[in-house]
Structure 1
């Protein structure tokens, strides 16, 4: 059985666009993942911990036969292979891969929460998702990405990077 998942990608250390491209290439090379769409890259101000470099963010839509937990492990392995070090919440990172959505499933486990919490308040997720899946329905909020993005009332800066993918 195949599943559709959306993965958030972010980096703010070193060659951030290059790290994002490498993570996408590693997902493409994985035998159980097929990328269907990739958003542009966006330069975004840091969220949560603001005293750090700005991020490059993107979202990919992929198809997989893996279960959600196995997919999460693949993403964590890619992060680890790329040198991700987890030092502090919302801190600087070479690469960050978040399982945003997995079909329309709602999963609440100790190590996995899907939909990823806080999506409705995160322009750095909603803007890239608007490019590739504006009509995707958030399974717990019962609103499309388009509606969620239109409801954002923030001054969070997000800038699409030209020719980024």
Structure 2
């Protein structure tokens, strides 16, 4: 089995419902077992900032899928939840990123593992901390990367205090 960390984000419509639906679709795949879910965090938009705030979370999973089949499955989930790719880093109903896949390092036109911008995104590092503080990128833990971000960058990520019981 492959150990994988996924990042999920949404900032359109019923954001909690999109996260819940994505988690449900992932859990219902017989080749995937969800081991842990992070808390949900509300985050200011990153990159393209003229849009609504995001809800973000991470999942730790085990899967018998290889990295490319998992990527295809993640895109299928995004499609089922009406994801449209119009503006880079723009609004989306759901975004699912493969952050880590075992210890592999992969870089091609379709897939980068580990995800190339983890180390600069507090909205990924903070939920990953809920799951595994010891994850490393280039011999540095995600906790060390998080500590290297400015207070302003870290403070833009707030624990979501809405209807979290759906995710317990």
**Is the structural similarity TM-score above 0.5?**
yes
CA distance in 1: counterparts of 2:118 and 2:43, whole angstroms:
15
Listed as ranges, the matches of 1:132-147 within 5 Å are 132-138=131-137, 141-147=138-144
Which residue does 1:50 correspond to in 2?
Answer: 49
What secondary structure sits across from 1:6 in the alignment? strand
Task: Decide whether the 8 Å contact of 1:17 with 1:41 is kept in 2.
Answer: no
Cα displacement (A) at 1:76: 0.4
CA distance in structure 2 between the aligned counterparts of 1:90 and 1:132, rounded to whole angstroms = 25
Partners in 1 of 2:74 and 2:40 — Cα distance? Answer: 19
TM-score, normalised to structure 2's length?
0.93
State how far apart, in whole Å, the 2-side matches of 1:21 and 1:159 are: 19
Runs of 4+ off more than 2 Å: 162-165
Q: How do residues 21-100 of structure 1 correspond to structure 2 at under 5 angstroms?
A: 21-100=20-99
SS at match of 2:145: helix
Name the structure 2 match of 1:127. 126
- Residue 155 of structure 1 corresponds to 152
CA-atom RMSD, angstroms?
Answer: 1.0
Which has more helix, going by share of residues?
Answer: 2
* Cα distance in structure 2, aligned partners of 1:16 and 1:103: 29
Distance of 1:90 and 1:50 partners within structure 2? 9
1:15 deviates by 0.7
- Larger mean CA deviation between 143-152 and 29-38 belongs to 143-152
Unaligned runs of 5+ in 1: none
* In structure 1, distance between residues paired with 2:73 and 2:151: 33
Supply the distance in 2 between the matched residues of 1:159 and 1:153 (Cα, whole angstroms).
15
Contact 1:8-1:99 at 8 Å conserved across structures: yes
SS at match of 2:136: coil
TM-score (norm: length of structure 1): 0.95
Aligned equivalents of 2:158, 2:51: Cα separation in 1: 17
